[in-house]
A and B are shown apart, each in its own frame.
Chain A
Amino acid sequence: MIILQTDRLSVAFGGVRAIDGVNLAIESGQVYSVIGPNGSGKTTLFNLVSGIYTPDDGSIRLAGEMVTGLTPDQLARRGLSRTFQNLQIFSRMSVLENVMVGRHRHERTGIFADLLHWPSVARQNEATSKAALAALARVGLADSAGRPAGSLAYGALKRLEIARAVASDPTLLLLDEPAAGCNPVETEEIDGLIRSIVRDGITVVLVEHDMRLVMNISDRVHVLANGRTLAEGTPEQVRSDAAVVEAYLGVHGSQEAVCAFD
Chain B
Amino acid sequence: MRTLLEIRLLPALAVAAIVIVLPYFFPSAYYFRIGALVYIFALAVVGLNLLMGFAGQVSLGHAGFLGIGAYSVVIGPVYFGLPSWLCVFVGATVSGAVAFLVGRPILRLKGHYLAVATLGFGLLVAIVLTNEAGWTGGPDGMSVPRLALFNWQVRGSDAWYWIAGTTLVGGFVLALNLMESPTGRALQAIHDSEIAALVLGIDVARKKLTIFVISAMYASVAGSYLALFNGHVTPDVAGFLRSIELVAMVVLGGMGSIVGSLVGAAVLVVLPQVLTIFHEYEQTLLGLILMVFMIFLRRGIVPSLAATFAGRRR
Listed in ascending order, the chain A residues whose CB lies under 8 Å from chain B are: 50, 52, 71-73, 75-77, 81-82, 84, 88-93, 97, 100-102, 104-105, 107-109, 111, 113-117, 121-122, 124-125, 128, 164-165, 168
Contacts and interface: CB of A to CB of B under 8 A. Distances in A.
Contacts of B192: 89-93
A117 B177 contact: yes
Interface of A is mostly: helix
Nearest to A93: B188
Interface of B: 1, 5, 8, 174, 177-178, 180-186, 188-189, 191-193, 195-204, 210, 214, 256
Contacts of A52: 195, 198-199
Contact of B185 (A71, A76, A100, A116): A100
B185 A104 contact: yes
B185 A97 contact: yes
A105 B183 contact: no
B188 A92 contact: yes
12 contacts: A71-B198, A76-B201, A77-B201, A90-B189, A107-B182, A109-B181, A114-B177, A114-B182, A114-B183, A115-B178, A115-B181, A116-B174
Contacts of A102: 200
Given A89-B192, A104-B185, A104-B186, A125 B199 contact: no
A122 B180 CA distance: 9
B186 A115 contact: no
Which of A50, A73, A116, A164 gathers the greatest number of chain B CB atoms within 10 Å? A73
Contact of B202 (A84, A101, A122): A101
Contact of B182 (A73, A75, A93, A109): A109
Query: Which residue among A75, A104, A125, A168 has the maximum number of chain B CB atoms within 10 Å of its CB?
Result: A104
Q: Which 5 A-B pairs have the closest CB atoms?
A: A76-B201, A114-B181, A105-B201, A88-B196, A117-B177
Nearest to B181: A114
B201 A104 contact: yes
Given A73-B204, A84-B195, A168-B200, A101 B178 contact: no
Nearest to A110: B183
Contacts of A91: 192
A162 to B, nearest CB: 13
A97 B182 contact: no
Contacts of A113: 181
B198 A76 contact: yes
A165 B196 CA distance: 10
Contacts of B5: 122
